Amino acid sequence: MNLLHISDIHFRREYEACEEGYKGMLSLMKNPLIQLEQCLQQVMNQETVDLVIISGDLTEDGEIEDYRFLKKWLQSVLGDIEIVVTLGNHDIKENFRVGWCEEAASDLPYNHVSVYPEFTIVSFDNSAYGQENGVVSEEQFQWLGETLEALHDKPVMLVTHHHLLTQQSSMPKWPGTERFLKLIDSSNVLCILNGHTHHSYLGTINGVPYFTVASMSFAGDDLGEGIVRFENRCGYNLYQFEQGKMLRQISETKFSGQVLKVLDMRT
């Protein structure tokens, strides 16, 4: 079974015309669907893709019609390939449920359990719109604990948006990390997948394989003292599983070399 992992599409049907700041950077960015289509076609021409995982920030501003458009666009490219998602800090839960899920609006966390013959994917929502570092919720920890307990020793793949390791980014790790790791310690976790940083990172955390995928839109390089250089950059991860074990993992990042803006993020 081949799983394609992407993240941080930051899609908008139209980006606001602007010359200054973060919005000015977005206005210069290549439409992420161009990069996404190129990556999808590259992978699908070389591999059979059985499942696509998107680890948050599907849209830039969480608009209903952006979710609706993005899902239809993905389905037109992917066909019958299933998509599993979690949400990020640029996603709005109520609008996601209406535009993507075609259900009634709700601001409840979007947690999801997807069961497959070889493993179960648990999408854990640690995000809130506009809160860059994520949120910590007692109700969420309770849900995760009960979910893992119900799965017992079955193989589990955990998907969330925010990163868990301090050393991988200048952005703070998710503040609920320590309790999260303690909670999953007795479970049979195959790997942890996330996004948020826009930079690829491969490693382990408490002995568990841990993969942060590059963004599908842009990346910012920290130059120090709050100065960040933004450029068009995109990437994906591909994981191959057989009989519940990961046999192969590929990370691809495409560097455009096109600097969009250099910004002082302290202002």
Query: For residue 235, what are the contacts with CB-CB under 8 A and spacing of at least 6?
Result: 39, 200, 213, 214, 215, 216, 251, 252, 253, 254
For residue 82, the model assigns a pLDDT of 97
Measured distance CA(192)–CA(121) in Å, rounded: 10
For residue 243, the model assigns a pLDDT of 87
* Mean pLDDT of the chain, nearest integer: 96
Residues 90, 32: contact at Cβ < 8 Å? no
**pLDDT digit string (tens) for 9-57?**
999 999 999 999 999 999 999 999 999 999 999 999 999 999 999 999 9
CB atoms within 10 A of CB 144: 23
Residue 67: strand, helix, or coil: helix
Report the DSSP pairing between strands 208-212 and 201-205: antiparallel
Domains of the chain, earliest start first: 2-264 (3.60.21.10)
Q: At what angle do helices 138-151 and 177-184 cross, to 10 degrees?
A: 20
**pLDDT digit string (tens) for 140-168?**
999 999 999 999 889 999 999 999 999 99
Q: Which two tokens stand for residue 253?
A: 């990042």
Query: pLDDT higher for 211 or 267?
Result: 211
Q: Phi, psi (5° rounding) for residue 124?
A: -115, 120
Residues 4, 52: contact at Cβ < 8 Å? yes
Residues 2, 246: contact at Cβ < 8 Å? no
Nearest one of 28, 19, 99, 119 to 59, comparing CA atoms = 99
In the structure, what pLDDT confidence band is assigned to residue 267 with cuts at 50, 70 and 90?
confident
**pLDDT digit string (tens) for 226-254?**
999 999 999 999 999 998 889 999 999 99
**Is residue 2 scored above 80 in pLDDT?**
yes
